[in-house]
Amino acid sequence: MQLTMLGNVVTLYFIWYIFNNYRKGMAYMKLIKRFILNRPAEKRLAYFYGIVATDEQVWLLREKNGDLLLLEDDGDYPFLLPVWPSRSFAEMKAANLDESYEAFNMPLSNFFRRFTS
């Protein structure tokens, strides 16, 4: 159990180090894809929380007319509002969409005030 926890801490530190030292360029995106996107969901979520807590902002996608990217939900909610921890993740998603979206950041305080009750 102790070894697993130490491994998680080392992994998160390594991801944090990569993020803070290689934010620019293709080398950064290759590292992101290799060390974050291929990780289990709980580690990706831990990465998300760490970056959002540090930067105190989230990234969203919007169309040129200002409409936000919303995803339909098959469950209890009429829609889902996707958010990302950094511009590069949001732009990666935007590149895979049929329509043209731009990434923009929103401070956490504004996000909570606007989208939560």
pLDDT at 102 over 90: yes
> What percentage of the chain carries pLDDT values higher than 90?
43
Task: Tell me which of 99 and 109 has the higher pLDDT.
Answer: 109
Domain that holds residue 15: 1-55
For residue range 54-82, what is the model confidence (pLDDT) as tens digits?
A: 999 999 999 999 999 998 877 787 788 99
- What is the tens place of the pLDDT at every residue in 26-50? 666 677 767 788 889 998 899 899 9
| 65 plus 111 within the same structural domain | yes
Same domain, 63 and 47: no
Compute CA 7 distance to the chain's CA centroid, rounded to the nearest angstrom.
22
Region of 62 on the Ramachandran plot (φ > 0 left; ψ -120 to 50 alpha; else beta): beta
How many domains are there within the chain?
A: 2
Residue 88 and residue 33 in one domain: no
Tell me, yes or no, whether 29 and 51 share the same domain: yes
Of 55, 76, 98, the one marking the end of a domain is: 55
Nearest to 14 by CA among 43, 29, 35, 34: 35
Residue 15 has pLDDT above 50, yes or no: yes
Distance CA 59, CA 91 (A): 9
